[in-house]
Amino acid sequence: MKIHKEGRRILFFTALALLAINLLLQRYNAAADGFNKVFAVVSVVAFLLLLQFFRSPFRNLLTHEDLVIAPADGKVVVIEDVHEPEYFDDVRKQISVFMSPINVHITRNPVSGIVKYFKYHPGKYLVAWHPKSSTKNERTTVVVESEAGPQVLFRQIAGAMARRIVWYVNEGDEVSQGEEFGFIKFGSRVDIFVPVDTEMKVQIGDKVKGGQTVIAQLKTTAPSLFGN
């Protein structure tokens, strides 16, 4: 398992800081040996938790032009028809995947195609499951014209803990299903908006894996892995 590039610098400086603090405690607080040992254990645990957050596991990516693949690891918390005001200005089916701090936080392209729209929105840091987080929080909006035809919109949304969104795509880019399009640091969610006639392959409460779990099937004449 690799460590994601977004975490290498953070891990390096965190390790240096924890090592320095522990050495200073051993040198100048030697009388409090019990406290020093507890702090050393806490330091190791904290670093291991940070290490697992930035892990980048190998994935056998599932690709097919009419399938929408989960853009992130997490839990499906929303499936509903809503009005999408930013780009489509009409009713779309929204699927939301909540990412806890223990999930892999790489975000992946749910479909292959051409990026028709991209915008970064600075904003608030409401908890990720708050109803207004998708329109009030810091977020990015990406619209890809899929190879199957329909346009798919997806958003990285920051949460109460997530304070930095990273993205690797811009308008006009050609993107491939399953490849990384960004990273959200320390927990949040990803929203996907598809046409209302899209066939769902998951339910609320399902756990999904980015790049592997099929969450929906777009309406197209192309042959599908799941049949008609």
Catalytic annotation, pick one of 96, 112, 146, 188? 188
Q: Name the burial class of residue 152, with classes exposed (0-12), middle (13-18) and buried (19+) by CB atoms within 10 angstroms of its CB.
A: buried
Q: How far is CA 42 from CA 3, 16, 32, 167, in A?
A: 21, 15, 16, 32
Q: How far is CA 135 from CA 126, 138, 220, in A?
A: 10, 8, 30
Q: Following DSSP, what letter does each residue of 44-74 receive, concatenated?
A: HHHHHHHHHHTEE--------TTEEEPSSSE
Q: What tokens were used for 53?
A: 């957050």
b/e for 100-135, b at 16 or more Cβ within 10 A?
Answer: eeebbbbbbbbbbbebeebeebeeebbebeeeebbe
- Is residue 96 annotated as part of the catalytic site, yes or no? no
Q: How far is CA 178 from CA 14, 57, 182, in A?
A: 30, 13, 11
Give the residue numbers marked as catalytic: 188
